[in-house]
Structure 1
């Protein structure tokens, strides 16, 4: 039976993640996402998605050191980066650098270590390309910082505040994986031909660039900037609703209840209350906007999606819009590589049929 876009067609059985839209649940390896990420670092959460278990206490530090090791890129990567057109989109340049990633040792690494290497390398490439694009000097990675803090360090050359690290790391952990989305499917199709992990992730990056998939929360940032302060929320939203405008950051095509990722990001913003005015504004604005939507559109159940609080976090750390989708990719590479490992372990090439409808 023909299903345009393969909508609702089951093509993969997976143990990595489950998205339960009607229940408002996201599970990593069978565990609710809030239980999975609690008290675990980016590196530990990634390892859990790759293997189905957290590293033992005596291996956790070794895992972090492994991430640090693969921040060192082959020298030719910077040479390529410096030759790329400054005006080219960051996602295009990230795809080019990642596709060129190669060294003899990498080919002999176990799949999970290959995943560590690529996950560690991508933010280094991204920060390098961003600073070159802005005409700034490249900043070397720090061996003393964790994965998230090092990314912020390489972007700005300043030690990030603890609140910035906590907020961004929560976002990265929550967006590592989200089922059989377009980029994940692209990765699995590529590796199903017995191609390699680098090629699969390159395919995924190309897919993520499309605005229907990796679209940035810039519309939410514009909304928060227009509101500016809690006192203006009601007047701004009322005017937009009366004008028939869509309120950015509300509603999700999969979740019929609250997006569990939004709930957890809100909780993190509440924990950090008073540490950043943009996080405070987002929490207050959500309350007022939800109330107005319920009054004017009863029964619609319009809740915040992950983009709403992602926007607040990106704005609080002063991340420019051109880095939103690249940063999303830095998180989602964990899911891509987990699916590559799973596909390799029980591989059948994807070969759907087409139906000819021409003359």
Structure 2
């Protein structure tokens, strides 16, 4: 038995290859840094979805129109969503979307994720949700709806790069859950909601916020060594370091570090983060020489999203806005197998008395 399923091959996929030993991520034949540098969100979604639908429309126009429709559909429900925690509000919003298998439903789900995330951000700040602008790129409009003002070109490109970077990552927990739901022939909406529910957990998509809490706790580079030593003595996990698959540096961390460098608003926080990162890596190498603990995607995700003015409570929702395209691609791939996911288990409980006596 393999309790974490690391050695269990549960799917063949054309979508992504996570090479843990080499620290490399390939998404449909392209290295993640190439994809993040050269593709918009819409182009990356088309890249992931290629061949999984009979036809995929030009996504900039289709997503723009879908965002407008999603906003109109959700208007009457904003007041009911407002009191809920951010991810719970997003799940509730997704439950209002169509639960079909066609490309229109896929586009609607991506649009709903963005519109709901923007509305949640505004409502948590005590403001009225901002209507989408169908004419803009998806990532640009998402950031505008969250902040209530148009982002700069550099900011919009930075968010796009983030959404593309996290679009797919092998058979992670949320993707596996989405594929399990898909195998029952439930609709795309059911699978996406299941994926988001898995993403909510702090061991999966909930880690970027605590990275900032850690940096706030350290405060200054010259305090890092003592803070790190005390944290390790207490048995605490250092957020943003270590990964279940990678045995070297998470390649997405370097992509996002480069993106953060392009934002002038990140300079002070970035300098502190880099100084603390170096001290943490030195300490981990000395304290845990038998474990390969390096920087993961959450570390620079936190710095990037903070620099873009995204509230910490919205970080998991933002992750979902990027990963939803990958979930949808995996759902469509799983449907093609025609097989219900049904692993076996080993019973270790008590036996009936007559069985024991026999």
Q: Normalising by structure 2, what TM-score?
A: 0.85
Cα separation, partners in 2 of 1:295 and 1:187, compared to 1, 3 Å: closer
**1:21 touches 1:257 (CA, 8 Å); kept in 2?**
yes
Q: Does 1:348 align with 2:339?
A: yes
Q: Match of 1:43?
A: 42
Q: Which of 73, 81, 91 is the aligned partner of 1:95?
A: 91
Q: Look up the match of 1:56.
A: none
Alignment check: 8 A CA contact 1:278 1:315 kept: no
Please give the per-residue CA displacement for 1:308-354, whole angstroms capped at 9, x wherever unaligned: 10111122223222101111111110110001111223321122334
Say whether residues 1:77 and 2:68 are aligned partners.
no
| Distance change >3 Å, CA 334–CA 261, structure 1 → 2 | same
**Contact 1:270-1:283 within 8 A present in 2 as well:** no
Give the counterpart of 2:350 among 351, 355, 358. 358
Partner of 2:274: 283
* Deviation of 1:301 (Å): 4.2
Report the number of matched residues: 346
SS in 2 for 1:27: strand
Match of 2:35, SS? helix
C-alpha deviation, 1:230, in angstroms: 4.7
Secondary structure of 1:18 counterpart: strand
**Residue 259 of structure 2 contacts residue 304 of structure 2 at CA under 8 Å; is this kept in 1?**
no
Using the TM superposition, name which of 32-41 and 11-20 deviates more: 32-41
Structure 2 alignment gaps of length 5 or more: 352-358
Residue pair 1:81, 1:93 contacting (<8 A) in 2 also: no
Deviations 1:152-203 (A, max 9, x none): 2111211223443333322221111111122112211222122211121122
CA pair 133-223 structure 1, distance change in 2 beyond 3 A: closer
Matches within 5 A, 1:51-66: 51=50, 62-66=58-62
Q: 1:299 to 1:187 in 2, by over 3 A?
A: closer
Asked if 1 retains the 8 angstrom alpha-carbon contact of 2:155 and 2:308, the reply is yes
CA distance in 2, matches of 1:265, 1:96: 30
Please tell me whether the aligned partners of residues 188 and 339 of structure 1 are also in contact (alpha carbons under 8 angstroms).
Answer: yes
Q: Which moved more, 1:155-164 or 1:174-183?
A: 155-164
Q: What secondary structure, in the 3-state scheme, does the structure 1 residue paired with 2:339 have? A: coil
1:311 maps to 2:302: yes
Cα contact 2:281–2:294 (8 A) shared by 1: yes
Per the alignment, residue 213 of structure 2 pairs with: 222
Contact 2:266–2:307 (Cα < 8 Å) also in 1: no
**Residue of 137, 161, 166 corresponding to 2:152:** 161
Unpaired runs of at least 5, structure 1: 54-58
In 2, are the aligned partners of 1:219 and 1:248 still within 8 Å (CA)? yes
Give TM-score scaled by structure 1 length. 0.85
| CA 1:95–1:246: 2 relative to 1, 3 Å | closer
With over 3 angstroms needed to count, the CA separation of the structure-2 counterparts of 1:354 and 1:230, relative to structure 1, is closer
Map of 2:24 onto structure 1: 25
Tell me how far apart the structure 2 counterparts of residues 273 and 253 of structure 1 sit (CA, whole Å): 33
